[in-house]
A and B are shown apart, each in its own frame.
Chain A
């Protein structure tokens, strides 16, 4: 359900941590418009926060497009970054794997919190994450 039938409601440039907060707020508003339950919104906005931060801190910035879906009601995002790409995507998504000081729970956590999750990346080509959450 990631893009077909989705209505683009916002595009957020991601270059600073202020932009990560903006992405969270935009997705949060989309869930509010759908009158989603708090838990549905919190889960997906948390996933969005992890993915947007990764784009800023590891991906040299990027962009997130936010789509609203009516049937079934939900929100999906496409987040693409300008980073070096990920060599081993399965390893990157396993809990505890980190290239920096973090605990390495972000990417795997986002995958668990989203209803659909797809990550496409290869060295030199940046990373694209598509994920969706029902309202």
Chain B
């Protein structure tokens, strides 16, 4: 995987960090690699930190949606965290509200929710 993306297993959650110079092929590679990691590690949650991203366009938004859908089929919840306000406003204008993904403001908030949902 290119060094624009890092996947770290923390207990039963995969933390994904993304750098701002990510390319479309890096995003596709992430989608493939992540679904395999979910199965390999038995992860129950995926947390994608996009706080380094200046923009999320329709391509990246579509892959995030697919990735969340695939993770769900593999019994893992996906949270997207750290979205900048300007990115959120732009996504709404693009008509992309990412209904397939859960949102959280921070990694720790996402982790708390994943844990809470699991004990329910």
Contacts and interface: CB of A to CB of B under 8 A. Distances in A.
B93 A24 contact: no
Interface string A15-57: 0111011001100100000000011011101100110010000
Interface in B77-94: 84-87, 89-90, 93-94
For chain A, which range describes its interface: under 10, 10 to 19, 20 to 34, or 35 or more residues?
Answer: 20 to 34
A28 B52 CA distance: 14
A53 B24 contact: yes
Given A20-B23, A109-B95, A39 B89 contact: yes
Interface of A: 16-18, 20-21, 24-25, 28, 38-39, 41-43, 45-46, 49-50, 53, 95, 102-103, 105-106, 109, 112-113
Interface residues of B, dominant DSSP? helix
A60 B99 CA distance: 33
A99 to B, nearest CB: 14
Given A53-B59, A105-B95, A38 B84 contact: yes
Interface residues of B, number: 22
Interface in B60-112: 62, 84-87, 89-90, 93-96
B58 interface: yes
Listed residue (A20, A102, A109) with the most chain B CB atoms within 10 angstroms of its CB? A109
A20 to B, nearest CB: 7
A42 B54 contact: yes
A21 to B, nearest CB: 5
B15 interface: no
A42 B90 contact: yes
